[in-house]
Structure 1
Amino acid sequence: MLHTKVSQIEEIIEGAIQTARQHQKPQLISIVDRIDNIDPFQFLHTGQIIDQHRSFWRSAEEEFTLVGIGTASKLYAKTRTRFNEIQSMWNDLNDQAVLYDDFNVKGTGIVALGGFSFDPEQRNGAPWENFSDSQMTIPAYMLTIKDDQCFLTTNVFLYPEDHPQQIIRQIKEHQEILFSPKPLPYEPVVRSGMEEVLPEEWKKTVEKATDDIKKGLLEKVVLARELRVKFQAPVQLAEVIKDLAETQNNSYIFAFESDGDYFVGATPERLAKLEQDQLVSTCLAGTIPRGKTKEEDAELGQELLEDPKNLQEHQFVVDMIRGAVEACCTNVDIPASPVLYPLRNLQHLYTPVTATLDEGYSLLDVIERLHPTPALGGLPQKASVDYIRENETMNRGWYAGPIGWFDSSNNGEFAVAIRSALIKNDSASLFAGCGVVEDSEPEAEYEETAVKLKPMLSVLGGS
């Protein structure tokens, strides 16, 4: 990739169109500017005027936020080797792009944001008709906030037939909208109805799964259920994301919009993070509620640390992630015992994993090996995914799939899309799951999923 000092945008665009005409193929340019601090939620909210394709990502562990507006390019996979296909398209895109960037800050420049469905062989489209199986988007405009500094990336795909002044005028008009001093008002989310989807049938599925596990058909399976919610008016994306960010401090806050539908959530579970060649992954499995008092909270936490079912479920995840990471990394470090990871409504068993990524591998190579972990699918991996496809009463779509971002400097991060909802105009589908083993009790698992639904319910019209 060519790195060139930033000059006037007019000169950059005119030169890129000349290059496109000379070679008779489109030219992607990416321009990074340092800007004054701006509210990311208002930036996201205002972006709806430009395009119904927006994205949002906020890290759970550092001051790092990405907000994407519009589309410069989309990467879709069409084969079963979807991670390799996306990586190949990404490599080709970067090889031909020109980057104007004096800052070299992670998450600026050419960045892809998006995700992958849980199961690419799931054929029932509803309610995910507007989300492709694999979709990574390079935004037309992207706000990056890193350590109290703000950057705007403008990405443009220029074609031989484009007219420079028309492109320049459109960019300036869009930037005036995004940086308008008159913020758009938020509309509160008001819930008008709620329906659990086949709760008794779901409990019977859990009971059947415990019987099948006892028969030796599999060791563990994660079963999810759906809750449908209606609202008095269409839901505004930025309002939900703002509320999630304010209430779920230890979670990754995400949103991906596709043709007006929003997939949003606050997930505590990182899949993998890469900075240069340093990889971090997370084993997060085993759940118990938070206590109402400090004493009760401590008692519940200790109960979780000593509970055989939860410890077994957690160890399944540790063993699987160890194998996946060791296949493409060196210097793998995994503590011997888990610790508690507290959230607002729940606490989990947590074990961090650190490693050095071997040369020749990418972040998507790691994600392919990790997905789905036993915390989202089960064990054995293929048998559990097949079981979910045959027995679960809903289409997961992007729920429990890998979602995240990566840039052209070998940085990126993916999380698991749990604690989430698919919002369609004035309705939403919320999803939650739990790990089923041979001694699982359907009613207890049902109550666990009810607790896991609370973070999203709290921002969609109340608890």
Structure 2
Amino acid sequence: MERVGSEPSVPPATREDATLVSRSRPIPDVSFRAFLAARDPPRLQWASHEGLELAGAGVAARLTASGSDRFESVRSAAEGLFADADCTNSDAPRPRLVGGFAFLDDHEPDPPWTGFPAAEFVLPEVQLTRTDDGTWLTVNRYEPGADPDDVASDLDRAVEAVADLPKMRPAGSQPGVTEVRRPTPKEDWTAQVADAVERIEAGDLQKVVLACALEVDLAGEVDLPDVLERLRRTYPNCYRFLFQPTEEAGFLGAPPERLVKRTGRRMETEALAGSVGRGGTPEADADLAADLVESEKIQHEQRLVVDAICEQLAPLGEVSEGEQTVRKLANIQHLRTPITADLDRETHVLDIVGSLHPTPAVGGLPPDVAAETIRDVETFERGWYAAPIGWFDADGDGEFLVGIRSGLAGGRSATLFAGNGIVADSDPQEEWDEVQLKYRPLLDELE
């Protein structure tokens, strides 16, 4: 096991005494939900609506870090992990580190975020990879004297273990909700919005995203892979993720928003800011979308986000802003502006993640003042909420989503998170109503 940070609790493996050996094999398609259900934590899943899906269980290597240099710390440790790796010569199932970051760099893994440090990435012992070209099973070992023949034998056994898993598996039923509590009551939220607007009017702040938590008691045990499968069916055009380090709880969600995708010298991101609900008829839906596009408040919020992202990316290469559209999801609509960059030098995806996080869509502007406001105003611990969740490989390619529309769930309880951007003319009632909409993706799959 490899750990990084200022004071690792376990002596780190070095390039001299540990080697990564990875072996993969194409297999018939299998239910990722069934694979996860057959495995104990730690386990993870990460899926893009554009095709790539990963699932993993066990830990071949773990990288953790904290502090303001956590992005660089993880990248540096990963370079040692991937150095001189002995891997199957195939692009699709290449070893990928999967994990994420906390919203704040000084986050501590205290309850309810036990097992979630300020940064953690896992190389699974057993990894499933699905692309448009097929499905692969991979076994990874990172240890002194890792033997390729032993890893190949482990792969044989892993293939046998998944051979009888079904291609499809029912997602099961919702556990049911017995009670809901709001740690931030509506009157407190109104006061928080008023506080933020006062700071904006004073000229120190342009925008801040304020979030709330919703504590949920469940009638039965929650099955996290089941919840993911139901989210896949309801929100096919969203990302999906699960990071479950312990039996106690996992962090999961179906975010609509990409933080960054890096493929060689090509980088893609987007600004997703401003939202309204869906209409009950096509005409009502179109009217709501028109209101979204024509709203001066929402267009101002969107422009703040677009300009900030373009400014953050400008040192990396030529940045292009695409055409603004309305992104329609099952229960909500957003303004979306795609942004791309042609990188003018080799730039690891974690460098870009560190440059962009937190975007104004989940933090605010200016970033330091917004972060201070969040610390002062919010009454709960964000943990990994609204932070980067994703994967990267030895080449520095990777993709990260923004961990919104998300929650922490385990046993018979869950905590859901949602937030909204506050600008000078924000109305507390409208903002409160919009936040309630953003709980629905996960809450609907629990009720």
Q: TM-score, normalised by structure 2?
A: 0.91
Task: Give the distance between the partners of 2:436 and 2:43, measured in 1 at CA.
Answer: 29
Task: Give the distance between the partners of 1:155 and 1:206, measured in 2 at CA.
Answer: 48
> Any idea what SS the aligned residue of 1:177 has?
helix
Given candidates 26, 29, 39, the residue that maps to 1:34 is 26
Q: In structure 2, what is the equivalent of residue 74 of structure 1?
A: 62
Whether the 8 Å CA contact 1:287–1:346 is kept in 2: the answer is yes
Whether the 8 Å CA contact 1:87–1:364 is kept in 2: the answer is yes
1:135 lines up with 2:123 in the alignment: no
Q: In structure 2, what is the equivalent of residue 384 of structure 1?
A: 370
Moved more, 130-139 or 352-361: 352-361
* Matching residue's letter, 2:201: K
Q: In structure 1, what is the equivalent of residue 339 of structure 2?
A: 353
Deviation at 1:242, TM superposition (A): 0.2
Task: Give the distance between the partners of 1:24 and 1:318, measured in 2 at CA.
Answer: 45
Deviation at 1:215, TM superposition (A): 1.6
Aligned-CA RMSD value: 2.2
Whether the 8 Å CA contact 1:194–1:229 is kept in 2: the answer is yes
> Any idea what SS the aligned residue of 1:301 has?
helix
Task: Give the distance between the partners of 2:151 and 2:258, measured in 1 at CA.
Answer: 39
Q: In structure 2, what is the equivalent of residue 155 of structure 1?
A: 140
Given candidates 287, 292, 316, the residue that maps to 1:328 is 316
Moved more, 266-275 or 403-412: 403-412
Whether the 8 Å CA contact 1:189–1:231 is kept in 2: the answer is no
CA 344–184 in structure 1, closer or farther in 2 if over 3 Å, else same = closer
Task: Give the distance between the partners of 1:181 and 1:338, measured in 2 at CA.
Answer: 43
* Matching residue's letter, 1:55: L
Deviation at 1:169, TM superposition (A): 6.8
Equivalent residues in 2 for 1:170-185, closer than 5 Å: 173-181=157-165
Equivalent residues in 2 for 1:113-262, closer than 5 Å: 113-122=98-107, 125-160=110-145, 173-181=157-165, 187-191=172-176, 192-199=178-185, 200-260=187-247, 261-262=249-250
Moved more, 305-314 or 225-234: 225-234
Task: Give the distance between the partners of 2:131 and 2:250, measured in 1 at CA.
Answer: 25
Task: Give the distance between the partners of 1:123 and 1:152, measured in 2 at CA.
Answer: 34
Whether the 8 Å CA contact 1:264–1:420 is kept in 2: the answer is yes
Q: Any idea what the Cα deviations from partners look like across 1:188-232, whole Å, max 9, x if unmatched?
A: 332222222232212211121112211223111100000011112
* Matching residue's letter, 1:209: A
1:279 lines up with 2:267 in the alignment: yes
Whether the 8 Å CA contact 2:21–2:147 is kept in 1: the answer is no
CA 258–375 in structure 1, closer or farther in 2 if over 3 Å, else same = same
CA 395–64 in structure 1, closer or farther in 2 if over 3 Å, else same = same
Task: Give the distance between the partners of 1:95 and 1:362, measured in 2 at CA.
Answer: 15
Given candidates 286, 289, 299, the residue that maps to 1:311 is 299
Deviation at 1:168, TM superposition (A): 7.1
Moved more, 79-88 or 290-299: 79-88
Aligned residues: 430
Q: In structure 2, what is the equivalent of residue 404 of structure 1?
A: 390
> Any idea what SS the aligned residue of 2:351 has?
helix
Q: In structure 2, what is the equivalent of residue 444 of structure 1?
A: 430
Q: Any idea what the Cα deviations from partners look like across 1:335-388, whole Å, max 9, x if unmatched?
A: 3x5211111111111110111123232111111111111110111001101110
* Matching residue's letter, 1:326: A
Task: Give the distance between the partners of 1:212 and 1:24, measured in 2 at CA.
Answer: 53
In structure 1, runs of 5+ residues without a counterpart are: 1-19
Whether the 8 Å CA contact 1:235–1:423 is kept in 2: the answer is yes
* Matching residue's letter, 2:162: L
Q: Any idea what the Cα deviations from partners look like across 1:139-198, whole Å, max 9, x if unmatched?
A: 1111111105101111012334x8999877765555443333479886533222222223
* Matching residue's letter, 2:359: T
* Matching residue's letter, 2:110: G
Task: Give the distance between the partners of 1:180 and 1:24, measured in 2 at CA.
Answer: 39
Task: Give the distance between the partners of 2:149 and 2:91, measured in 1 at CA.
Answer: 28
CA 24–269 in structure 1, closer or farther in 2 if over 3 Å, else same = closer
Task: Give the distance between the partners of 1:89 and 1:232, measured in 2 at CA.
Answer: 43
Q: In structure 2, what is the equivalent of residue 55 of structure 1?
A: 44
Q: Any idea what the Cα deviations from partners look like across 1:402-434, whole Å, max 9, x if unmatched?
A: 011112244310010000010132100000000
In structure 2, runs of 5+ residues without a counterpart are: 1-12
* Matching residue's letter, 1:257: Q
Whether the 8 Å CA contact 2:95–2:123 is kept in 1: the answer is yes
Task: Give the distance between the partners of 1:69 and 1:184, measured in 2 at CA.
Answer: 18
Q: TM-score, normalised by structure 1?
A: 0.88
Q: Any idea what the Cα deviations from partners look like across 1:280-334, whole Å, max 9, x if unmatched?
A: 111110111111100000010011001011001101110011011111122x211
Q: In structure 2, what is the equivalent of residue 366 of structure 1?
A: 352
Deviation at 1:104, TM superposition (A): 1.9
Whether the 8 Å CA contact 2:206–2:366 is kept in 1: the answer is yes
Given candidates 408, 412, 432, the residue that maps to 1:422 is 408
Whether the 8 Å CA contact 2:321–2:338 is kept in 1: the answer is yes
Task: Give the distance between the partners of 1:240 and 1:70, measured in 2 at CA.
Answer: 21
1:96 lines up with 2:84 in the alignment: yes
* Matching residue's letter, 2:272: L
Task: Give the distance between the partners of 1:364 and 1:421, measured in 2 at CA.
Answer: 24
Q: Any idea what the Cα deviations from partners look like across 1:256-290, whole Å, max 9, x if unmatched?
A: 11112210001011011011221111111011111
> Any idea what SS the aligned residue of 1:389 has?
helix
Whether the 8 Å CA contact 2:273–2:334 is kept in 1: the answer is yes
CA 459–92 in structure 1, closer or farther in 2 if over 3 Å, else same = same
Q: In structure 2, what is the equivalent of residue 453 of structure 1?
A: 439
Q: In structure 2, what is the equivalent of residue 15 of structure 1?
A: none
Q: Any idea what the Cα deviations from partners look like across 1:218-261, whole Å, max 9, x if unmatched?
A: 11110000001111222111100000000001111111111122
